[in-house]
Amino acid sequence: MSERKPPAWTPSWPVAEGRDRDLYFYLQPTEGYAAGARARVAGAGEMLMLGSYSYLGLNGHPRITHAAHEAIERYGTGTHGVRLLAGTLDLHKALESKIASFKGTEDALVFSSGYLANVSVIACLFGRGDTIICDKLDHASIVDGCALSGADFVYFRHNDPGHLETRLKAARPSGKRVVIVDAVFSMDGDVAPLPEIVGLCRRYDGLVMTDEAHSIGVLGATGRGIEEHFGFPSDAVDIKIGTLSKAIPSVGGYVAGSRAMCDFLAHQARGFIYSGALPPPQTAAALAAFELILAEPERVKRLHANMRAFAGLLADSPLDARRGESAIFPIVCGDDWDGWKLARYCQKNGLYVQCIPHPVVPKGSARLRASVTSEHSETDLRQAVDIITRGAAELGVALRVKRPEAAE
C-alpha cells in the first residue's frame, strides 16, 4: 500500500511562526479572576485586563453565582435534549420573558449561542425571493446566516445610509427585504446609524434587524441597547438579536420581537429545534444578570464614565485610535506583525490586550482591540494607555504619525 499523505491543515495565520517568535498570545489559559478588571493568566501572573467583554463586571457577582448554584441543585447540569421536546425548563421561560421586557418586545427566544441565534433566525425568516442587505462590517454569524438562507444578499458600505438607500432601491420589488446591522461593530467599536436606517426602511418597506452583542449593557442610559441610545421606541427594530456571553456572564443567544415571529421560530428555526437547550446554571445566571443590570444602574453609569475617560486619554495620546462610541476601542497598527509585536509588548508589561489581524479585519488594518469595563479605575485606564504608548513609540507602530523604521 502506498504511504498515506497527511492532509495539509494550514491556518490562515502563521501560527507556528508566531509561536516560534514569541508573538502568539491567543488561547492563553486564564486561571482565575481578581477584583478590579484583573485576570490571573497561566505563566504570566496577574494582568490588567483590557481585552474582555465583561462590560459591566458581572462575572462572579455573588447573586449570579448563587442563582447558578441553586439551579444546579434543583435541575442538575443538563437539560437532556432540545427545547421543543423535554428540554424546556421554567427557567428558560422566565429568562425569555425577562429579555422581552428588557428589550420592550412581546416575546423572546433563547438559543445555545449568539452565533447560532444569528444563523438560525436569518436562515429561517428569509429565503429565496427575499433580499438581505448587510453592512459590510457585519459579524461573521450574520454573514453565515445570509449564505444559508438562499436569499439575495448584498452589502452596503459601512455606516453609509446613502449607499444603503441605493441598495434598497435596487432590491426586488417582491419578497421580504431586511437590513441587518451590528448595533456596535465588534472590530471598530462604532455605532450603527439607527435613525437613518429606520427612516430608510420605513420608506422602502424593509425590516430592521440588529445584533446587540456589544450594545446590551453598554448603550443607553440603562444599558437597554441601541434604541435607548438614540431615544427611539422599542418597536423601531423588528428583529433583535443578542448574546448572553458578553455583558451577561453566561452563554447563549436570543432573538426578541413579536410573539408571532418567536412562535414561528420556535417551530421552524433549525438551530433551535435541533440543538440542545441552554443548561440550567447558565440560564439562571443570565436571568440574574438582567435583573442586576436594572437593580444596579450605577454599573452602566460607571461604564459610560470609563468609556468617556478612555476616549479622552486616547485622543490626548499619540496613538492611532479610532473615535470611541462604545466600550470597544481599536488601536490601529496596520501590518499584522506590527500588531502582534505591540500585543507582545503589552503582554510582557502586564496588560492583557490582543491583536486582531487580517482576515478578521481588512488587510493592513490589524489592531489592538481594547475594551473598557465598569470595573476599571481611572489609574487602570491611564496605565493601559501609558503601556500601549510606550510600546508604540519603541516599536514605531500604531502612532498617528508613523516613525520611518520599526524595531523588532
Which are the catalytic amino acids?
Answer: 186, 214, 246
The DSSP code sequence of 116-176 is: HHHHHHHHHH--TT-EEEEETT--HHHHHHHHHH-SEEEEE-TT-HHHHHHHHHHS-SSS-
Q: Which residues ranging from 285 to 324 are in contact with ligand PMP (CB under 6 A)?
A: none
When asked if residue 275 is in the footprint of ligand PMP (CB under 6 A), the reply is no
Residue 53 grid cell: 467583554
Nearer to ligand PMP, 57 or 253 (CB): 253
When asked if residue 114 is in the footprint of ligand PMP (CB under 6 A), the reply is yes
Query: Residues 140, 116: contact at Cβ < 8 Å?
Result: no
Nearer to ligand PMP, 120 or 243 (CB): 243
What pairs with residue 34 in β-bridges?
38
Within 13 Å of residue 153, how many CA atoms lie on the same side as its CB? Answer: 18
Per DSSP, the three-state class of 59 is coil
Instruction: State the nearest-atom distance from the C-beta of 360 to ligand PMP, in Å.
Output: 10
When asked if residue 250 is in the footprint of ligand PMP (CB under 6 A), the reply is no
Task: Give the residue closest to ligand PMP by C-beta.
Answer: 114
Q: Which residues ranging from 1 to 40 are in contact with ligand PMP (CB under 6 A)?
A: none
Region binding ligand PMP by CB under 6 A among candidate stretches 107-115, 314-322, 334-342, 379-387: 107-115
The DSSP code sequence of 255-314 is: EEE-HHHHHHHHHH-HHHHTSBPPPHHHHHHHHHHHHHHHH-THHHHHHHHHHHHHHHHH
Contacts (Cβ under 8 Å, ≥6 apart) of 65: 285
User: What is residue 5's DSSP assignment?
Assistant: P
Selected from 92, 139, 367, 376, the binder of ligand PMP by CB under 6 A is: 139
Region binding ligand PMP by CB under 6 A among candidate stretches 94-102, 110-118, 339-347, 361-369: 110-118
Instruction: State the nearest-atom distance from the C-beta of 58 to ligand PMP, in Å.
Output: 15
Lay out the sheet containing 366-371: strands in order across. 328-334, 366-371, 354-356
Selected from 243, 347, 365, 389, the binder of ligand PMP by CB under 6 A is: 243
Q: What distance in Å separates the CA atoms of residue 109 and residue 21, rounded to the nearest whole number?
A: 46
Residue 148 grid cell: 444559508
Instruction: State the nearest-atom distance from the C-beta of 130 to ligand PMP, in Å.
Output: 21
Selected from 107, 135, 211, 227, the binder of ligand PMP by CB under 6 A is: 211
Selected from 245, 250, 365, 389, the binder of ligand PMP by CB under 6 A is: 245
Nearer to ligand PMP, 98 or 139 (CB): 139
Region binding ligand PMP by CB under 6 A among candidate stretches 64-72, 109-117, 193-201, 392-400: 109-117
Estimate to the nearest angstrom the gap between the alpha carbon of 26 and the chain centroid.
Answer: 17
Q: What distance in Å separates the CA atoms of residue 97 and residue 103, rounded to the nearest whole number?
A: 10
Q: What distance in Å separates the CA atoms of residue 153 and residue 67, rounded to the nearest whole number?
A: 42
Nearer to ligand PMP, 140 or 170 (CB): 140
When asked if residue 282 is in the footprint of ligand PMP (CB under 6 A), the reply is no
Nearer to ligand PMP, 248 or 346 (CB): 248
User: What is residue 240's DSSP assignment?
Assistant: E
When asked if residue 253 is in the footprint of ligand PMP (CB under 6 A), the reply is yes
Q: Which residues ranging from 169 to 208 are in contact with ligand PMP (CB under 6 A)?
A: 182, 186
Q: What distance in Å separates the CA atoms of residue 102 and residue 286, rounded to the nearest whole number?
A: 12
When asked if residue 141 is in the footprint of ligand PMP (CB under 6 A), the reply is yes
Nearer to ligand PMP, 182 or 227 (CB): 182
Q: What distance in Å separates the CA atoms of residue 358 and residue 336, rounded to the nearest whole number?
A: 7
In degrees rounded to 5, what are phi and psi of residue 110?
Answer: -100, 135
Contacts with ligand PMP, 63-102, as mask; x by CB under 6 A = ----------------------------------------
Q: Which residues ranging from 356 to 385 are in contact with ligand PMP (CB under 6 A)?
A: none
Number of residues engaging ligand PMP in binding (CB under 6 A): 14
Contacts with ligand PMP, residue ranges (CB under 6 A): 113-115, 118, 139, 141, 182, 186, 211, 213-214, 243, 245, 253
